[in-house]
Amino acid sequence: MVYVSTLAGILAAIAIYLLYKQRQWNKEVERIAQAVSEHRADQPLELPISSSQSLQLLIYAIERWHKDIGHRQQEMLENNERLRAIFANATVGLIAVNERLHIEAVNHMACKMFDIDAEGAKGRYILESIRNPHLESLVRYVVVNGEPLSSDIELSTGNELILRVSISPLKVDNRVNGAVISLEDITELKRLDQVKAELVANMSHEIKTPLTSIKGFAETLLDGAMDDRETCRRFLTIIDSEADRMSRLINDSLTLSRLESQDRNISIEPINLHELIVNILDMVDSSAKTKNIDVTFYDQATDMKIDGNEDRMHQLMLNLIDNAIKYTPSGGKVTITIKDEGEDAFISVKDTGIGIAKEHMPRLFERFYRVDKGRSRNMGGTGLGLAIVKHVVMSMNGTIDVNSELGRGTEFIVRLPKHYSAHPSDPVAD
């Protein structure tokens, strides 16, 4: 009986102890649960220390899990920031739309292209913000069919733009839930393509003329004209002249091509303008004397030098002075003046020639544009001289102006920085 009572007491004590431990364990679990539930993601996780070894192991596991999640969240945040930075600063326009064609994101470049506000465009149907039905139809096709698409579209938003549009579907679990639109401004590329096409067409036309002449006179000689010494000599002189004209045309075309390539490896050196102009005047002296043209050089710069490429500067001045002599009637006057204007060199080539009508002025520096086509060809002009002049001036970060009065003469005024700029303005492809 005593034994039974003792055993009962022990069991009761054990039960009380287990109940106590259970309640204590429950309270610790509740404290852990409360600490986890009240924890803020941006704060370190601090869990209470448990007297229970098993609970302490659980706490360690939760803390390790929390640290791992924290690291993963940080990586995701950094990746998102990088993606946002790439999206915002991309050199192409980027637009993200959902499956209903509502704008979800648009970067600065796209806003600039379409003249829209990023915040105002978000959440709106694409056609409401970007009023271009062609673009909307392209995006709709991609979202409906789940296939990427590329096309060119034209915009008229103040400035005429041509955009190359590339659209890719956004898929989740093989279901299209939006699209990303990439927009590249190819206006300049298209313009250059047009310029090249026109250049090839003009070159073909310009070369065809002397070639036809050479072939015609050569055939005439072969048909028996060689037997007449006087006729043979006259025809051969014409063939030689036409061959020279073709050579000048090809050389001028190559010069223009080199200028447009913006070669940064050209040699830059101090150029003595006085010496350069005197050398050119020696070259054209015979032409001037033949027409009894008075050529005067006023040097008001006192041994001025400018930084540049001497070959290019020589081309610039030779074209201007040679043109002035060509288009000035016999007995006329050509005046070259240089001045020091502080940071710039002032160069003027003025003649008392035939002058240029106002309607021709805007196109004066275009390739192959001639005010008087027949007269220019007869004088041996290629139609590229002033285009070369314009490109040389632009490559040196300078300016060129023209003053002309029909029947009274023309003045070309060039201003060039005396010190070389490492980043000259891009030549204009006329």
CA–CA gap between residue 143 and residue 140 (Å, rounded): 5
Q: What is the pLDDT of residue 165?
A: 92
What is the band of 19 on the pLDDT scale with cuts at 50, 70, 90? low
Distance CA 329, CA 334 (A): 11
Provide φ and ψ at 340, rounded to 5°: -95, 115
* Residue 60: per-residue pLDDT: 66
User: For residue 262, what pLDDT band results from cuts at 50, 70 and 90?
Assistant: low
CA pair distance 192, 194, nearest whole angstrom = 5
| pLDDT of res. 424 | 45
Show Cβ contacts of residue 330 under 8 Å, excluding neighbours closer than 6 positions.
291, 292, 293
Higher pLDDT: 268 or 15? It is 268
Percent of the chain with pLDDT over 90: 23
Which of these ranges, 61-75, 234-248, 350-364, has the smallest mean pLDDT?
61-75
Strands 294-300 and 333-341: parallel
Looking at per-residue pLDDT, the higher value among 205 and 351 belongs to 351
pLDDT of residue 102: 93
If pLDDT is split at 50, 70 and 90, which confidence band does 9 have? Answer: low
CA distance 130 to 97: 12
Residues 6+ apart with CB under 8 A from 39: 45
Whether pLDDT at 375 is above 60: no
User: Between these two residues, 289 and 73, which has the higher pLDDT value?
Assistant: 289
- Which of 131-135, 160-164, 330-334, 423-427 is predicted with the least confidence, judged by mean pLDDT? 423-427
pLDDT at 410 over 60: yes
| Per-residue pLDDT tens digits for 186-204 | 888 888 787 777 777 766 7
Identity of residue 116:
I
Selected residue with higher pLDDT from 54 and 362? 362
**Residue 249: closest CA among 368, 350, 144:** 368
Q: How confident is the model at residue 101 (pLDDT cuts 50, 70, 90)?
A: very high
| More reliable by pLDDT, 424 or 398 | 398
Nearest to residue 411, comparing CAs of 364, 363, 342, 345? 364
What pLDDT does residue 292 have? Answer: 94
Phi, psi (degrees; rounded to nearest 5) at 90: -60, 145
- 201-242 pLDDT tens trace: 766 766 777 788 888 888 888 887 788 888 888 888 888 878
pLDDT at 423: 47
307 vs 359: CA distance, rounded Å = 35
Distance CA 68, CA 297 (A): 83
pLDDT digits (tens, 9 = 90+) for 104-159: 888 888 888 888 888 888 889 998 888 889 999 999 999 999 999 999 988 876 66
Lowest mean pLDDT among 7-11, 168-172, 236-240, 334-338: 7-11
pLDDT of residue 430: 45
pLDDT at 429: 41
pLDDT at position 396, please?
Answer: 87
- pLDDT tops 70 at residue 54: no
Residue 426 has a pLDDT of 43
pLDDT score of 367 more than 50: yes
Q: Which of 12-21, 86-95, 125-134, 172-181 has the lowest mean pLDDT?
A: 12-21
Better-predicted residue by pLDDT, 98 or 257: 98
- pTM for the model: 0.54
- Compute the distance between CA of residue 384 and CA of residue 57 in angstroms, rounded to an integer: 87
- Residue 37: its pLDDT value, please? 56
